[in-house]
Amino acid sequence: MTRRSLAVLALGGTTAVFAAGKKKDEKGFEPIFDGKTLNGWTLVKPSGPGYIVKDGAIVCPADGGGNLFTDKEYANFILRFEFKLSPGGNNGIGIRAPLSGDVAYSGMEIQVLDHDHPMYHKPGQELKDWQYHGSVYNLVPAKGRNLKPTGEWNEEEIRVDGRRVVVTLNGKVINDANLDSVKDAELLKKHPGIARTTGHIGLLGHHSHVEFRNMRVKTLP
C-alpha cells in the first residue's frame, strides 16, 4: 500500500490521519460500516448480487446495485466516507431517505458520479449542472469540481443540518446548499423528500462499479 493510499482511522479518538497528512477532528463520530459485513444495513430492491464487502469496502458491482440503507435513521448529521469510482461510475448518497420510492425524489440524493467520462458528454446528451458529482440531484447543483482521477480514493464529507447541506470533496467545499432556496412549485411537487427532516442514509446503486469505505457518522443536535 502506498503512502498516498494509506488511511488510518482512529474512531473514538480525537483525530484521524489521512493520506494528505492532515488531521481531522473525529470526536463524536461512530462507524456505520464495520469493514467486514453489511450488519446494520438493509438492501431494498436489489439488482443482481446487490452489494458485497471486499477488502474492507462496500462494493457495488457493475452487475449489482439497488438501495442499501442504514437501519438507523438520521436527522442532522455529518457523514464522512471514502469512495472510489470506476470509469463512468455512478452511484448516490441518499439522505433523510425513506425505505421506499425513488430516493432522489422521496428523499434526497447527493450525486456520486465520474462526471468527466465521455459517456456523459455526448452531443445532445450533456449533463445538466445538477447532475455533477456533489449536487443535490435535480435540486441544487454543485458549484465546484475536485474529483481525483478515476481509480483513486476520494474523501467526502456531507453535512446535513436543518435546511443546509454542505458537501466537501477532498478538502474543498463543492456545494453549500440552502434547501429553502428551491422555490419552483413544480420542482417542489416533484420532490416531496426535500421537506423530510429525518430518514436513512443510503447507497443508491446504478449498475456500475463503485466502492465505499471508512463510513462514519456524527449526529448533530
Q: Give the model's pLDDT for residue 24.
A: 77
Q: In sequence order, which residues have a C-beta less than 8 Å from that of residue 181 and are 6 or more positions away?
A: 140
Q: Give the model's pLDDT for residue 23.
A: 59
Bigger pLDDT: 18 vs 70: 70
**Domain 31-219 classification at class level:** mainly beta
Bigger pLDDT: 15 vs 77: 77
Q: What is the average pLDDT value for the chain, to the nearest integer?
A: 91
Amino acid at 12: G
Residue closest to 107 by CA, chosen among 119, 94, 120, 88: 94
Q: Over 80: is that where the pLDDT of 79 sits?
A: yes
